[in-house]
Amino acid sequence: MKTENWKRTHYTMEITPNMDGEEVVLTGWIKEIRDLGGIKFLILRDKEGTLQITVPKDEVDEHTLKHAESLQRQDCVSIRGVVKRMDKAPRGVEIIPKNMIILNMAKQPLPLDITGKTPADIDVRLDARVLDLTRDENRAVFQIRHAILEAIRDFLSKNGFIEIHTPKIIASATEGGANLFPVMYFEREAFLAQSPQLYKEQLVIDFEKVYEIGPTFRAEKSHTRRHLTEFISVDIEVAFATAEDVMEIAERLIQYICKMVVEKRRGDLKTLKYKVEVPEVPFKRLTYDEVVNELKDAGIKISWGEDIPTIAYRTLGRLHPYFYFIIDWPTSIKPFYIKPRDDKPEISEGFDLMWHWIEIASGGTRIHDKDLLIKRLREQNLNPESFRFHLQAFDYGMPPHAGWAIGLERLVMMLTGVRNIREAVLFPRDRFRLTP
């Protein structure tokens, strides 16, 4: 087989001053160009980092000079050159090119300033997202996202969970019809799954401890900085467990994720100028009643049984500026599958995990008794007939069980400091955005 003459021998970050004199081939994109008359500096970017390519105009051959002169930002190149120790260069080393191959020229002018010196509006950035992601700050978000996913899989796997994938095209609603996207499924109507809830619950009969990391779809009309119409949900479900058991898993997992990100992605956090503190466990547990009282003292009145509005969460976030659980929610405002307390059925065993004012996760003990589940479906004006396949699993020895769902993008916001959830997704989908 022919070896292409543009193939790299090293990544930029592998080049060190003690390689002085070695000939190397680097491939990547032109990030910046500085022309000082007799000398030209090119900053080459690859997936690992950047390196200075120095072109002393009277020392390189005519062909190389011609190429160097024609280069523009984001052109894709292969550069053969000699490593030179240079104290003044960014990493104490530079490359003097001997030959350059332009693999592809970028169309100028670019729609964005890829150095970030001229900030662009979020919509302009998202319209040219692939170009936007060439910026270090933006790629750092996804390196951290990757580290979060790695930490989640590692933690859950070590704790005896099996990774599952449940269908995303479904016949009926998980939690009622609101927020569902209908799709044409041949001659029938189907829906995009808004949660793996029912499937993961059923599967505890077979696997006991399951987790899924997968897309979920919500026809959210609200256009906020923390809602998407397609997001990744990290779900767990555990047999023979209660809310308290899975809250412990959640807090230990969050602690582990923070630890891994701090350890493994130090450079990316620095690029983002963001500090992550590894939290202590256990996290605070506030009851719904305590929250309502705290809010009352802060001048926000919430009648018992009402959901907590965003503005109240903002106040709560100021009072509890890190992680905390809210427990003992009124049963009436939790989904039908959340178990009411045996001693006080008006209070549920559901919980939310908060980070400042943002909800990161919600979960709880589930109902495992079929009759009670049917009663709760009816109370929430849902038709048990639409849940026939789910309900039949409760005839097969459904154990007591509990679980939660964490929104991956909200975790990414928490660990990168990005303030708009759209920055935590490569190609976000919201009420108005369906492209690119």
Catalytic residue numbers, as ranges: 218, 220, 226-227, 359, 362, 410
Locate tokens 């072109």: which residue? 55
Which of 161, 329 has the CB closer to ligand ATP? 329
Nearer of residues 8 and 252 to ligand ATP, judged by Cβ: 252
Q: Which of 398, 409, 412, 428 binds ligand ATP (CB under 6 A)?
A: 409
Pull the structure tokens for residue 185: 């499924």
Residue 216 to residue 196: CA distance in whole angstroms: 8
Residue whose tokens read 């926000």? 300
Q: How many residues at the interface with ligand ATP, by CB under 6 A?
A: 16
DSSP symbols for 308-364: PPHHHHHHHHHHS-SEEEEE--BGGGS-TTBPBPSS-TTBBSEEEEEETTEEEEEEE
22, 32, 127, 220: which one binds ligand ATP (CB under 6 A): 220
CA neighbor of 41 nearest in space, from 24, 55, 58: 55
Q: Which of 359, 384, 391, 400 binds ligand ATP (CB under 6 A)?
A: 359
- Rounded to a whole number of angstroms, the minimum distance from the CB of residue 244 to ligand ATP is 18
Residue type, 146: H
Q: For residues 136 and 352, which CB has a smaller minimum distance to ligand ATP in the complex? A: 352
200 interacts with ligand ATP by CB under 6 A = no
Least Å distance, CB 222 to ligand ATP, is 8
366 binds ligand ATP (CB under 6 A): no
Closest approach, Cβ 360 to ligand ATP, in A, equals 5
**Cα separations (Å) of 40 from 16, 32, 43, 102?**
21, 11, 10, 17
> Is residue 231 within the footprint of ligand ATP (CB under 6 A)?
yes
Collect all residues with Cβ–Cβ distance below 8 Å to 275 and sequence separation of at least 6.
269
Residue 415 CB neighbour total at 10 angstroms: 27
Smaller CB distance to ligand ATP: residue 206 or 307? 307
CB contact at 8 A, 324 and 351: no
Binds ligand ATP (CB under 6 A): choice among 81, 196, 407, 428: 407
One residue of 42, 405, 412, 425 binding ligand ATP per CB under 6 A: 405
Q: Where along the sequence are the contacts to ligand ATP (CB under 6 A)?
A: 218, 220, 227-228, 231, 233, 359-362, 405-407, 409-410, 421
